[in-house]
Every structure is written in structure tokens, then in C-alpha cells.
Amino acid sequence: MSVTVVILLVLAGLSESAGRVLPLVARRPKLSPPLVAGLMVTGTVVEGTVIALWPVAAWAVADLMQPLVAPDAAPLPGTAGLVWTPVLIAPLLLAAILAFPLLGPLLHTLLVAGVGAGLAGPLAAASGLGWWSAVGCIAVAGIGLAATVEVVRRLIARIMAGAREREAVV
């Protein structure tokens, strides 16, 4: 992964993190600045990692789907999988900035879907699947990653809420 791709992943992760943390700060203005900074850094790492894993997960789903959808198709020789390039990730960064989650989840979803459609061409070419099959693989991978992160987020929120309740009792 090139330095440019890593920088773009960090910036996209930061934008996604800000979209999740700033509404929390708006609802609870007395949050300490170190806590907000910690949430931003943690969110940037998590969101950047999820974004980085999207093409890897899509490639894994395509690998699983290939015998079912196109048994006679074969990946291109020498193809190691789908990876982010600056050309592929730049629209995602633009989507993360333009569709800053404060502006609305619908716009955010539409722009991320557009970026996913942009990934479909390279995935279809690299895996030997059709374009629609590649879109399905990218959608399954994206939804799976998003669901996983959401489950972990809710689990952590419950654990922290339980810890606060125990502190209040003691």
C-alpha cells in the first residue's frame, strides 16, 4: 500500500470519525477535550481500517462466489486481489467529506454506493466475475463490515453504560 493510499485512508477515517463523534459532542458539551480527542483518534483508526478492509473483504466474497456464479471464469494470472489505489480511494475520501454524516445518512449512503460501484469494475476484471456479481460481492463485504463495526460499537456502549451504573452505585 502506497503512502498516498495510507494518507487518503486516514483522512477518510478522520472524516467518518468526526461525523460520529461531533453529534455526541453536540449532545454532551461537557465532554472533556482529551476524551473527545481519544474518541476521534480511535474512530479514525477503526474507520480507516474498515475502509482499508473493504476491497480485501470484497475479494474474499468474490473468491467464495466464483464457483457458484461463474465456475468457468478464473482470476487473472498474477492477480493478488483487489487493493486500494489513489484513483479508487480518492472518490471515497470525497464521499466521506461531502457526505459528512451530519449532512444526512441518505447522501452518505448514496455516495458510498457510488464508490462501491467504482470498485466493481476492477473487481470484475481481476476476479473474472461479471460486473453485477462484483457489485454484489462489494455490497455484501461493505454491509458485513459495517454491521460488524456497529455490533462492536453497541457492545462497547453497553459495557461502558454498565460500568457507569456500577460507579453510581458505589
Tens digit of pLDDT for each residue in 70-107? 566 555 554 556 777 777 777 767 666 655 555 666 77
Q: Which of 68-77, 126-135, 154-163 has the lowest mean pLDDT?
A: 68-77
Tally of structural domains, the chain: 1
Look at residue 23 and tell me whether its pLDDT is greater than 90.
Answer: no
What CA–CA distance (Å, rounded) separates 159 from 166?
A: 11
Q: Percent of the chain scored above 70 by pLDDT?
A: 80
What CA–CA distance (Å, rounded) separates 59 from 31?
A: 40
Look at residue 62 and tell me whether its pLDDT is greater than 80.
Answer: yes
Please report which confidence band the pLDDT of residue 162 belongs to, taking 50, 70 and 90 as the band edges: confident
Q: What is the mean pLDDT of residues 111-136?
A: 86
* H-type alpha helices, 76-104: 86-98
Domain residues for the domain of 116 are: 3-169
Candidates 128, 126, 145; CA nearest to 88 is: 126
Q: Is 83 helix (H, G, I), strand (E, B) or coil?
A: coil
What CA–CA distance (Å, rounded) separates 150 from 107?
A: 19
* pTM confidence score: 0.78
